[in-house]
Amino acid sequence: MKTTWCIFDEKWNQPGYHSDEEVDAQDLAILQSAGDIIKNGDLVAFPTETVYGLGGDALNPMSSQKIYQAKGRPSDNPLIVHIANMDDLEKIAIHIPKAAWDLANKFWPGPFTMVLHKSPLVPYETTGGLETVAIRFPNHPLALELIKHSGGFVAAPSANTSGRPSPTLGKYVYEDMEGKIPMLLDSGAVGLGVESTIVDMTCNPPMLLRPGSVTREMLLQMIPDLEMDHAIMADVKVKAPKAPGMKYRHYAPKAQMSIICGNQADVVKYINQKCCDCKIDGMKTAVITTEEMLLEYQADCIKSLGSRLEYNEIAKQLFRVLRELDEEKVDIIFSESFEEAGIGQAVMNRLKKAAGHRIIKLEKKD
């Protein structure tokens, strides 16, 4: 199958850019044909404000099967249904509690997903056999236009091959999906870089299943008794997570990766020593660090995620850096660690998964 790669202007990433007068005829024609592809049961990859998604008709069981196939994803791992209109929520979810409406009004459109009881309209193929459905109303003009042209309900996991880092650029989607899907819509780099926050609203109290840019602290202001699935930050071999997808090894770079925790000087010393040892063994070494520490390391490949003062930027760069380390064919990666507060919780959740929970805590010396 030939994959048509359609480049859109970056203005499509600006929230609010989607009134019909502004959209040029060529863009509209592409969106229409993309919508038709989805309505006919096939797949289109598209940008959202978090990461690129691989979209199919959420109400068509065959489309969901195609998504699992294209990603190489186990079919017990449910998909998020994307909507572009608040009224559509009640068509696919039932028994919606008041707190869910409050959260929807506060965080939608945006990087926020709620798990609710599914209506009969949603096939089990989309929910991985569950009676619940994950729903998100994204805040990205191109995603919203595509959803509207596709019939209103687009199932979309991240558009990576299962297990690889989620794509933050169109070229990474092409890398993973070329020949597997008919069309890719590309508007350049995504804004946030980590996938949406997921909260399960079918339990009482509600539970945070995946941290994201809508942070735990923001959610606690609305739901003071919000629980956290502790498997989020722990090794799944030790504790099974509630979101089926969280149990799989994710975002895995091809090289073995470890996260080093401790005070900065000790971390630098440890990593440099390890890189030196690995180099003697003939390995190509890599370090994931920040602007502040960039000059401190000796390794074959040193990648900065940005400044430690800008955690949003760190979240945005993380998956790109993991993919670049694959491209550079490094053998071993050492990463600094980050505070597990605010967006840092999402960053550490993804980093720990990428490292397969290989975490080295350096002893504090008095």
Per-residue binding string, ligand TXA, 53-92, x by CB under 6 A, is x-----------------------xxxx------------
How many contiguous H segments (helices) and E segments (strands) does the chain have?
A: 11, 17
158 touching Mg ion, by CB under 5 A: yes
Planar angle of CA 308, 320, 268, nearest 5 degrees: 40
150 touching Mg ion, by CB under 5 A: no
Using CB positions, name the residue nearest to Mg ion.
158
Q: Which is nearer to ligand TXA, 145 or 336 (CB)?
A: 145
Q: Which is nearer to Mg ion, 48 or 335 (CB)?
A: 48
Q: Which is nearer to ligand TXA, 134 or 275 (CB)?
A: 134
For residues 280 and 262, give the distance between their C-alpha atoms in angstroms, rounded to a whole number: 25
- Cβ(232)–Cβ(243) under 8 Å? no
Burial label for 25, CB within 10 Å (0-12, 13-18, 19+), is exposed
Q: Which is nearer to Mg ion, 274 or 323 (CB)?
A: 323
Residues 13, 63, 113, 168: which binds ligand TXA (CB under 6 A)? 113
Amino acid at 50: T
158 touching ligand TXA, by CB under 6 A: yes
In a 3-state reduction of DSSP, which class is residue 148? helix
At 363, phi and psi to the nearest 5? -60, 140
Per-residue binding string, ligand TXA, 305-344, x by CB under 6 A, is ----------------------------------------
Distances (CA, A) of 105 to 85, 87, 89, 100: 12, 12, 12, 9
Per-residue binding string, Mg ion, 99-138, x by CB under 5 A, is ----------------------------------------
For residues 341 and 215, give the distance between their C-alpha atoms in angstroms, rounded to a whole number: 8
Sign of CA dihedral 39, 45, 46, 49: positive
Interacting residues toward ligand TXA by CB under 6 A: 48, 50-51, 53, 77-80, 113, 115, 127, 130, 132-134, 136, 138, 156-158, 195-196, 198, 209, 243-246
Interacting residues toward Mg ion by CB under 5 A: 158
